[in-house]
Structure 1
Amino acid sequence: MKTKQKLIALVGGPGSGKTSVLESLENLGFTCYQEVSREVTLEAQKAGIDQLWIAEPLHFSRILLEGRIKQHHQAQEEPKNAVIFDRGIPDVLAYLDYIGDHYPKEFIDACNTYRYDQIFFFPPWEAIYRNDNERYESYSEAKEIGEILVNTYERFGYELQTVPFGSIDERVAFITQNS
């Protein structure tokens, strides 16, 4: 009989170190799912839309929601007992809340249906924050997004564990020791 996987989400504002830690966890043999939004952004850019999130936030968010639900389903079939995600489904709502956009009830329903067992929050960290092709927010915007993410996850009943500042190895150790 197959055991249920422990689903772990790494969440935080842009540039807080989630992806670097996820890549390190993956290199250690953990089953990890990459952030969906980078792929969506790159596909939109190939189609001539520089920032789909800015041009059509609800459409972009729908694609993200579908991608994260797909990841959630795929995780149930993984052979290992733990799956780690770069962001979770409630992130979609948090970003729409950040811009003051409305979303249909199905977005809320998805957050209630597709749950995670553990959430690790990466607080804003100015020393490591960098902009890139898919990350255009300023550091102050990243801080605000981080606060909205915390509020959104707590609204859905999650207890977040804050990942302390430190080297990638120290942050990985914190997650492995506390999951």
Structure 2
Amino acid sequence: MARYILTGTPGAGKTTLLRLLEQRGHPVVEEAATDVIALEQALGRDEPWADASFIDLIVALQKQRQMGAGPGFFDRSPVCTWALSEFLGFEPSAVLRAEIERIEVERTYERSVFFVQNLGFVTPTAARRISYEDALRFEQVHLEAYRRFGYDLVLIPPGDLAARADQVLANTPFQ
């Protein structure tokens, strides 16, 4: 079952790229962290990422979405959550470790991961309060995490959205 991960720094255009892939008829699975942040903020927690339990909330939603999905494109994965945990200075939790082990044993995702490179800026949102400089550091943490877990990175450089989508599709059995 071909499940491909799209990852990269915040503001790199992953979600926009995912929207175009969806428009072209490919199944997509939304990023969990943004939805967790939105819900937690609606519940009155302005910076939910400041608490280590935030990581487990993301893992739970990622797993729920992955278990209900077939082949397609995934906006981030538990490896991204591992990178986020490291970036935030949290020790990876037992829940995160178990999920990483599960996806490795089950070979849940394709080994080729699409790493959407940054666009040269970050546009802040309610969920994205990261500076461009921190986003670049976070980008490196992501790269290192995927390499550590043995994934092959397919770099998607900045550029025209359609060209980025074409590059992704050229590296999959989807056309």
Whether TM exceeds 0.5 here: the answer is yes
| Structure 2 residue 158 is the aligned partner of structure 1 residue 165 | yes
Q: Return the alpha-carbon distance in structure 1 between the equivalents of residues 26 and 88 of structure 2.
A: 34
Residues 1-179 of structure 1 aligned to structure 2 (within 5 Å) = 5-54=1-50, 56=51, 58-75=52-69, 78=70, 82-114=71-103, 115-117=108-110, 118-127=112-121, 129-179=122-172
Counterpart contact for 1:32–1:85, Cα < 8 Å: yes
Unaligned runs of 5+ in 1: none
Report the RMSD for the aligned CA atoms in angstroms: 1.3
Secondary structure, counterpart of 2:68 in structure 1: helix
Q: What secondary structure sits across from 2:6 in the alignment? A: strand
What letter is aligned with 2:46?
D
Instruction: Tell me the TM-score normalised to structure 2 length.
Output: 0.90
Count the aligned residue pairs: 167
* Partner Cα separation in structure 1 for residue 89 and residue 120 of structure 2: 25
Note closer, same or farther for the CA distance 1:104–1:41 as it changes in structure 2 (3 Å cut): closer
Within 1, Cα distance between the matches of 2:96 and 2:129? 24
CA contact (8 A) 1:120 1:161 kept: yes
After TM superposition, where is structure 1 displaced by more than 3 Å over at least 4 residues in a row?
Answer: none
Q: CA deviation at 1:72?
A: 1.8
* Percent of aligned positions that are identical: 25
For residues 33 and 40 of structure 2, the distance between their equivalents in structure 1, rounded to whole angstroms, comes to 10
TM-score, with structure 1 as normaliser: 0.88
